[in-house]
Chain A
């Protein structure tokens, strides 16, 4: 089981900032994102530089939106998919905020916010910035083949989201109406999936484990939630999670969706099982879900970012794919306006 923490000090989400690539910009959620870029390369000499620009842009934007200077931020928490989380390091070099690097693959969005929320229980600090990014072309090279290499993908494969999201959070309660009130840190679950084109199936058991833990420990239970979202399981993983939870008599289907299936139009866009990557749950949460909470379409939401913690070396050496999922419960505080 994962470990559930009910936060004694709720952590306010001051603002989120998002940027996405051209393919995501053609998807159904594009209106919810701050910036849609026209060109995946952003005019940079390498895809890696382009991804760095994405993360730097959102990190700066979220501070500007909130009228906060970088010097006022206590800790910057960030992670991405590239070797040695280099995108995050270069962003931290630019931002010059005390930095803790994270690696949780595509679970990094929730991991960053969960770690920030736990750190902010300490009243010696008051402001944390979290960021994460992914880029379709850098991950193709990192995990698979050169971008222009012609290979036929199976229908279970997923399409890495190009984009970045940054969040500014604080333990000073008057800053916002939207709060992280509880988090569940997941444990590794590995049920033996080896094929890197079956990420959804590799991560689904971890998502199930974390959702189950969180709902059992949350005194409000399942009925207190308006929605539950997983990060990037795609159509395949989403179907597996519903089925596995049903086997344990937990029926979430009526309020459940997966960010990987929401960010693209699966019928029109050629993305197989759906989106993946760190930016997937970051974009959907900071774009759509925060909007729904602010406009009172939802009051309490669980976001479960999922990560497939494989390395290119580990799967070439025929190791199985360890999965993880971290959950953050985001609530709008009634009567706080």
Chain B
């Protein structure tokens, strides 16, 4: 077993040496700029709704809906995934990434029917965000209640 592990370790070294490195610095900078850009776009849309007479407190709702709509259309047109290869976390983290995960799953599993395909599987990627988002909110709520 010991010899086997040594072979595997050496192989890992060789394979890493022959593999191009993930351009981490480039990816982080692009994600920062694109993610920030999407947020600025969101802010502009929000300001637009406020100028149209929305209550500043509630302008967030139509703003998010607009961003989700745009991301969904871009997913349907086959553009979002290509942009995501360029932008990485920049397009994954904002609400647009969440919309993309749901719409892409719904499209993919449409061929398996409306109930067991689209219905069951559209949350196959987004489900984890919902579960852990809800759990986090639960604990945050408890802490908030305790600290008054």
Contact = CB atoms under 8 A, between A and B. Distances in A.
Interface of A: 45-48, 141, 145-156, 191-193, 198, 201, 204-205, 236, 239-240, 243-244, 270, 273
A49 to B, nearest CB: 8
A309 to B, nearest CB: 17
Nearest to B84: A150
Contacts of A236: 15, 18-20
A interface, by DSSP: helix, strand, loop or mixed? Answer: loop
23 contacts: A141-B108, A147-B81, A148-B75, A148-B76, A148-B78, A148-B80, A148-B104, A149-B125, A150-B85, A150-B91, A150-B104, A151-B84, A152-B27, A152-B87, A152-B89, A155-B23, A191-B7, A192-B8, A198-B15, A201-B15, A240-B15, A243-B14, A243-B18
Contact of A45 (B20, B84, B92, B111): B111
Interface string B60-102: 0000000000000001101011011111110110000100110
B27 A146 contact: no
Contacts of B84: 149-152
Nearest to B71: A150
Nearest to A242: B18
Interface of B: 7-8, 11-12, 14-15, 18-23, 27, 75-76, 78, 80-81, 83-89, 91-92, 97, 100-101, 103-105, 107-109, 111, 125
A211 B88 CA distance: 38
Given A156-B20, A239-B18, A240-B15, 15 more contacts: A46-B111, A48-B111, A146-B108, A148-B76, A148-B81, A149-B105, A150-B100, A150-B104, A152-B85, A152-B86, A191-B12, A192-B8, A192-B12, A193-B11, A201-B15
A149 B85 contact: no
4 closest A-B pairs (Cβ-Cβ)?
A150-B84, A146-B108, A201-B15, A152-B88
Interface centre among B22, B83, B97 (most CB of A within 10 A): B22
Nearest to B77: A148
A155 B21 CA distance: 7
A148 B108 contact: yes
B80 A150 contact: yes
A244 B78 CA distance: 41
B15 A150 contact: no
B8 to A, nearest CB: 4
Contacts of A191: 7-8, 11-12
Given A141-B108, A145-B125, A150 B18 contact: no
A270 B85 contact: yes
A62 B89 CA distance: 46
B81 to A, nearest CB: 5
B81 A151 contact: yes
